[in-house]
Structure 1
């Protein structure tokens, strides 16, 4: 007798009533039809919702929220009118303390399910003291294809300036821009500047850039602020040079916002959507801002990477610092611009930073020099190619390795090299606990997992940072 796979209870385009039971990864709510999983954005555990299935896979489907039939008792009113539309925030509709519980659960689930650490527990998440206004950098986009919200469409009213928008990309629609009317992610002065820039551009008929036609002038507005020095950078990215536009624009901004300490004009005359551009012109001030992390100071240029949440960066770095012993040699893998290398420099006689990007390595050397850290050296190259026996011979075998790889985790050859030299301790920092759990499992024959400490760097989003502390089995 032949056996047939039972038909799926869910079809694309079908509407159904769903009870949301779990806050899944990426901020989506999870409900089930029998044993079949359905993920829905902008929902919370305890919600009963009506959804339409818009994507179907073998083992799961995704649905669009059509109606909130019964709200969860944990639901709260979002602070921002754009919550659920712009993509900047994921979880404004749930209390922050619940968000931290869900994030901790995601990290624990990854280590149990992917890493195979069945009895593992995580430390309570180090939450942010302020879940809003924490970002020290916001990048906004200009566009001539304004995204209309459901409220605007349903109102039937005529929408002025439909061919001009300044705000954030609508998720999944990189040619459509949500014209922000408020934002609570950066210091309030940031949004006041955005509003003023939009006002000036409209009043002076300065055209926004069109990605399809490669036409228009204004491409991006990037605002960076320093929590501890008060420095404030405004960076306008355009499709070309035009001093007749930019000089009056800069002067007007400075008159309106005297707290601005530097104005940058970045020129990107290519089709690339990158806001880094081909070159910059400094219209006012030094062309950079300065910030402190603990006793160390850092120069932040227009394109310098710096942790986006200054307060939580210090909290994260202190977790790493607290896990260290004083040692002769410490390696900082994937060191970026060297902020963590500098921050940890007091714990080693020699610090060796390794990074693939040449510009970041140059900046790391500058950061070390400016802070008087003469015992730090930085190597540039692909980690899997240069983290080898020759490097170990030149710099000495590390007693401790601190590693903070990109989301994809560490290359297998890097893990093999770590195993070949067996440092006493590994501190693994990650923004993706699924690949972190995978890599830690590969090290588990030689190391015991002592501690997992999640740190919330991005409140009101689903992102979570985690620090795993591993000690060699014979120590």
Structure 2
């Protein structure tokens, strides 16, 4: 079962609006943009109901300019996104409506300077050229921005980087055939991170660290989690990333322990912990599947990747009385419930990704 297909099947019966984005017919991202936002939310609620999750989908506080990160592909003279349903064709993005105007201006500046400085874009079929990706991140509440130039070689691009005055300008290298928008760190101008702030908690975010892509909605999700775990003695936060949830709930619980496999994320989490002067949170680098789960936690929070917990981890978690399961893929979330010895006692849904067939769900689970 595919959540996207559930959405698109229902969408066929709804009258279409004229999409706002000029790239709608080429881009495979905001494919629900030709529906009213009210209808988008209804579709997501219906699809969740078919999975057995009954929750009103909370609308995003902003449906344009909400996204804090986009990965722009440089290939065959184009700088933008892949043409939908293709892997080797890229179209120039002139105005992405889910990013800020400042990010769009940066993108246009990169395109112009790359041409002026004769920096060749990578070719995904011949593997020639150098500039592969331009990843732009921004703190929505701090207005700090990062540009991460990902190239094929370590050849200096300082002449390009020096034209920008953003908080963080980074050069990374991916010299493998893997088509991923991350690489090993080479150099930077300014700082090698940016900060974001959600309701007084400051977060340090590196070039490869995960952070919720819609900070406006993340505040609402984190606040709901905080209200649920309030008063707990000890909370375990698995897949904690940069400590987004761990640090946010720290002032209403006695102790939080965060676990994450990505080293950069844990480094950022500890930096944020020091920045906020929080003393009751600890972080550990570990694969959650290998982490020694001790039955001493009042609440276990899990926010796994799209593929979910895996049956092995789900079975390990079955001994805990209360689990707070956050997911960007309700299909894998429901599959994991089959391996957990728990029942749903509360269900919440948040539209973290307007105009897309995706939704964030939050389930409060209690042991049967």
> How would you bin the TM-score normalised by the shorter chain?
over 0.9
What is the DSSP-based 3-state SS (H/G/I as helix, E as strand, rest coil) of the residue aligned with 1:173? Answer: coil
Deviation at 1:27, TM superposition (A): 7.3
Higher relative contact order (CA 8 A, sep 6+): 2
Tell me the TM-score normalised to structure 1 length.
Answer: 0.72
Cα separation, 1, equivalents of 2:318 and 2:260: 20
Deviation at 1:202, TM superposition (A): 2.3
Secondary structure of 1:384's aligned partner? coil
Q: Go from structure 1 to structure 2 and tell me whether the alpha carbon gap of 1:85 and 1:189 turns closer, same or farther (over 3 Å shift).
A: same
Q: Would you identify which runs of 4 or more consecutive aligned residues in structure 1 move more than 6 Å?
A: none
1:109 aligns to what SS in structure 2?
helix
**What is the CA–CA distance in structure 2 between the aligned matches of 1:331 and 1:142, rounded to whole Å?**
40
CA gap of 1:204–1:380, structure 2 versus 1, over 3 A, is: closer
**Residue 326 of structure 1: CA displacement?**
0.7
Task: Find out whether 1:418 has 2:317 as its counterpart.
Answer: yes
Aligned length: 367
Q: 1:281 to 1:440 in 2, by over 3 A?
A: same
Q: Any conservation in 2 of the 1:313–1:457 contact (CA below 8 Å)? A: yes
| Matching of residue 250 in structure 1 with residue 161 in structure 2 | yes
Q: 1:267 aligned to 2:200?
A: no
Match of 1:53 in 2: none
CA distance in 2, matches of 1:180, 1:262: 22
Give the Cα–Cα distance (whole angstroms) in 2 for the partners of residues 105 and 365 of structure 1. Answer: 40
CA distance 1:358–1:302, change in 2 (3 Å): closer
Show CA shifts across 1:34-59 (max 9, x none). Answer: xxxxxxxxx6424xxxxxxxxxxxxx
CA RMSD in angstroms, aligned pairs only: 2.2
In structure 1, distance between residues paired with 2:202 and 2:88:
38
Q: Residue 277 of structure 1: which of 183, 189, 199 is its match? A: 183
1:429 to 2:362 alignment: no
Aligned-partner Cα distance in 1 for 2:59–2:96 = 21
Normalising by structure 2, report the TM-score: 0.92
- Which residue of 2 is the match for residue 220 of structure 1? 133
**1:254-403 superposed matches below 5 A:** 254=165, 260-282=166-188, 284-388=189-293, 392=294, 397-403=296-302
Cα offset for 1:462? Answer: 0.8
Deviation at 1:195, TM superposition (A): 1.5
2:9 corresponding residue in structure 1: 30
What do the CA deviations read for 1:229-268 (whole angstroms, capped 9, x no partner)?
111222222222344xx333233344xxxxx222222222
- Cα separation, 2, equivalents of 1:326 and 1:191: 44
Deviation of residue 324 (structure 1)? 1.8
**Cα distance in structure 2, aligned partners of 1:24 and 1:351:** 32
Q: Distance in 1 between matches of 2:3 and 2:12?
A: 10
**1:27/1:90 contact within 8 Å kept:** no
Which residue, out of 455, 458, 463, partners 2:358? 463
The aligned residue for residue 24 of structure 2 is 83
Give the gaps of 5 or more residues in structure 1.
1-22, 32-42, 47-71, 112-119, 145-163, 255-259
Report if aligned partners of 1:339, 1:367 keep a CA contact under 8 Å in 2: no
Q: Within 1, Cα distance between the matches of 2:131 and 2:313? A: 43
